[in-house]
Amino acid sequence: MSKSYKARIETRDGIVVEEFGFHCHVEKVLNTSATVLRTACKRKTYEHVPERPTKIILTALTALQDTMEQGEEVTHQDMSNFRAAICREIRSTSKTVHETIVTLRSMALSTHRKEDFLMLCEENNGKGFVIFTTELNLQTLCSADIVLMDGTFKSCPKQFYRLYIILAYVNTL
């Protein structure tokens, strides 16, 4: 979006000396609840780093639901704006490989069965290598008849180069 300003003012010592052109802003009605919610989502981004943006938004929305003014609604466009704000916040605070590795090692990542989920988290020559899996997943992979693999560059978080997925088909009938 390109902005072209045709109005300006000249001041001296804080006093308007001369005005050039006419400047008119279109009245914009702000949804204060949406503004408060967007700010809350951006703050929660730091507290809940591994969470998906949707979960952060829903958590913030649930927490702020009682404080929303009657008649104010959060629209689908607001939700898209929240998601974009969270993603911008994550990108602006992205860490170096070393910081990411240290952060991942400090997190207690486990499955609902209380199995460790961070199998390997190493740094070598400024490049990181991370494997998320469990012992049971590796055993299943070893016993599988069919193994599917796929790598993508497009869906990776900014601090990673590639996401590689390995799936195993196990017929348990």
pTM comes to 0.46
Q: What is the pLDDT of residues 55-86, one digit of tens each?
A: 888 888 787 777 666 666 777 787 888 888 87
Q: What is the pLDDT of residues 19-37, one digit of tens each?
A: 777 666 555 555 667 777 7
Cβ 101 vs Cβ 88: under 8 Å: no
- Dihedral of alpha carbons 71, 76, 77, 82, sign: positive
SS3 105: helix
User: For residues 173 and 171, what is the distance between their CA atoms, to the nearest angstrom?
Assistant: 6
Average pLDDT, the chain: 77
